[in-house]
Structure 1
Amino acid sequence: MTHLVFFCGHAGTGKTTIAKRLIGPLMRATGEAFCLLDKDTLYGRYSAAAMGALTGNPDDRDSPLYLQHLRDPEYKGLLDTTRENLELGVSVVVVGPLSREIRDRRLFDRQWLGIGDDVMVQIVWVYTSEETAHARIVARRNPNDAYKLTHWDAYRQRRFVPSGAAREGLLMFDNTAPTAADLDALLRAIVEGRSA
């Protein structure tokens, strides 16, 4: 059995940091090879080039133009690459916001993902307060965040934390100030196939 682990959440929540911290322990705990597919690593340079050509601003990565024309093809490519690795017997850790896909429950749909029952899927929603996320985004000084920071009031309207029925099947992880014990508990939940 292969594993597919999503680390989802909004900008500044620490998705990539958590994924990179846990991928080695995941490999040791499962005895499986994993690859890490981070949407920004796979598509960041391409999106910057495309937005630079379209708008003259390569850092315009959260504008309506980007969201309408580039977001979905990036995610489809990310999932296509994920599926290819799984078909080769390589487990995958996927990092990306995937907020629409969480809200629409598409990540829970094996047919939509194009995967069989032999893949164990775990979806981790990484979250923190808006204030903490904003401070982290400012501190990391990534040009890709320029549009978000300039248009924070509009961006913050898209931020949400799944609640009620929307939490079903998710592993919720508060990444404000996690301890080693918190990370160990998350690792165990992923490996054992538990959800919140």
Structure 2
Amino acid sequence: MVCKLTPSAPRLILFAGHAGTGKSTLAKKALPLIIEKTGEDFFFLDKDTVYGAFSSHVMQLTTQNPNDRDSPFYLENLRDWEYQGLIDVARENLLLGVNVILVGPFSKELQSGKMFNAQELGVPLQTSIQIAWIDLEEIEAKQRMIKRADPRDEWKLAHWGQYAQRRTEPPSHPALHRFNNLSFNESAFKKLISDLVK
């Protein structure tokens, strides 16, 4: 797909939230609405798509568990490099004037404030950064993870107490817009889209 360049002020829109909240599903649902509302094209970048096969191979080689995405070994040796790679790809597109929709938990990066700071990200200073934080209460998120039966959730489900401690609240920021995904609300979703492209 050839993207129309937006040299004046590229957009970075992040769909973030904890596992099982529906980030990817909502981002894909939002994409055509965002394109329609802005008249602009977007590069769609999902962490699971970009690093799924790569991380499975690395974890198989190192821990013999290709589905491990949460153990202390993964968090110490692979996690931050995946996220840095995603940010690097997003940066390259934004520097070329291409809008980006980025999907992933990004809880650590949001807590640090990095994702709100164009200068720290190394993207054009005029980049419009807007973040959709997808909320879902812990019990419901766990039930959805059980239902979807993704092998990459096995460590989380087997060590839920440890994992739940990492389900931190995002910081308050004018660029962060929260969306409760317990039961889909069309009007709330339309407002989210409007907030993301304002």
- Range into which the TM-score falls when normalised by the shorter chain: over 0.9
Partner of 1:177: 183
1:1-196 equivalence runs, <5 A: 1-162=9-170, 166-169=171-174, 170-192=176-198
Q: Do the aligned partners of 2:95 and 2:124 also contact (CA within 8 Å) in 1?
A: no
Q: What is the RMSD of the two structures over their aligned residues, measured on CA atoms?
A: 1.0
- How far off is 1:117 after superposition? 2.3
**Deviations for 1:78-113, whole angstroms, at most 9, x for unmatched residues?**
011101111222211000101011111111121221
Greater than 3 Å deviation, 4+ residue runs: none
**Deviations for 1:40-79, whole angstroms, at most 9, x for unmatched residues?**
1100111111000001110111100100010111011101
TM-score (norm 2): 0.92
Q: Do the aligned partners of 1:127 and 1:161 also contact (CA within 8 Å) in 2?
A: no
Separation (CA, whole Å) in 1 of partners of 2:89 and 2:32: 20
Segments of structure 1 that go 5 or more residues without pairing to the other structure are none
What percent of counterpart residues are identical?
Answer: 44
Separation (CA, whole Å) in 2 of partners of 1:97 and 1:118: 24
Separation (CA, whole Å) in 2 of partners of 1:110 and 1:62: 28
Q: Do the aligned partners of 1:35 and 1:92 also contact (CA within 8 Å) in 2?
A: yes
Q: Do the aligned partners of 2:35 and 2:42 also contact (CA within 8 Å) in 1?
A: yes
